[in-house]
């Protein structure tokens, strides 16, 4: 994979994740998995495992993690973000994703929330998802 693809995978995940939290949820739920399907098709070819990973990501990205959810529900959902990509193989990034999300969520809800807002959290977490996808494709 070229550095150009690596860059665009990470940037597209960060931007689509942020847009999905700020504007229309479909950016996160549909366009992000579709973008990874297209990148994967170009990088590793169109495989059943790629399709399954993108479909499962689309499904898990539909689950919310807002204030109406208990902490244990949030943890299960963010573990699912990494687990959805297991058909493509295993990388350490699938374990890093929930740790980063929990750390960013804590920061955005701590005393630092005025300087570390939810938008920053979404961009950084989207980039983390992009790093995971980059290592799988």
- List, in order, residues 6 or more apart from 101 with CB less than 8 Å away: 78, 81, 125, 128
- Alpha-carbon span 78 to 132, nearest angstrom: 13
Q: Quote the pLDDT of residue 1.
A: 63
Q: Which domain holds residue 76?
A: 3-136
Q: Is 81 buried (19+), middle (13-18) or exposed (0-12) by CB count in 10 A?
A: buried
Residue pLDDT, tens place only, 74-125: 889 999 999 999 999 999 999 999 999 988 888 877 776 677 778 888 999 9
What does the pLDDT read at residue 68?
A: 81
Match 């980059």 to its residue by tokens: 134
Dist. CA 4–CA 27, nearest whole Å? 22
- Only one residue has tokens 């961009």, namely 123
- Contacts of residue 71, defined as CB under 8 A and 6 or more positions apart, other chains included, come to none
- Measured in degrees and rounded to the nearest 5, phi and psi for residue 107 equal -60, -40
Q: What integer pLDDT is reported at residue 80 of this predicted model?
A: 95
Using the structure block, give the residue that is written with the tokens 């070819």. Answer: 45
Span 22-80, pLDDT tens digits: 889 999 999 999 999 999 999 999 999 999 999 999 999 999 877 788 888 988 999 99
- In sequence order, which residues have a C-beta less than 8 Å from that of residue 46 and are 6 or more positions away? 40
How far apart CA 65 and CA 82 sit, in angstroms, is 15
CA 16 to CA 28: how far, in whole Å?
6
């Amino acid at each position: 994979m070229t550095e150009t693809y690596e860059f665009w995978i990470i940037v597209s995940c960060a931007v689509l994740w942020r847009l999905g939290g700020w504007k229309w949820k479909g950016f996160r739920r549909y366009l992000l998995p579709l973008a990874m399907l297209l990148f994967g098709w170009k990088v590793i070819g169109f495989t059943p495992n790629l399709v399954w990973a993108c479909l499962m990501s689309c499904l898990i990205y539909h689950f919310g993690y807002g204030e109406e959810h208990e902490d244990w529900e949030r943890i299960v959902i963010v573990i699912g973000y990494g687990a959805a990509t297991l058909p493509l193989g295993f990388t350490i990034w699938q374990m890093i994703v929930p740790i980063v999300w929990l750390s960013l969520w804590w920061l955005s809800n701590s005393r630092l929330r005025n300087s570390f807002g939810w938008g920053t959290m979404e961009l950084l977490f989207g980039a983390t998802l992009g790093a995971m996808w980059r290592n799988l494709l």
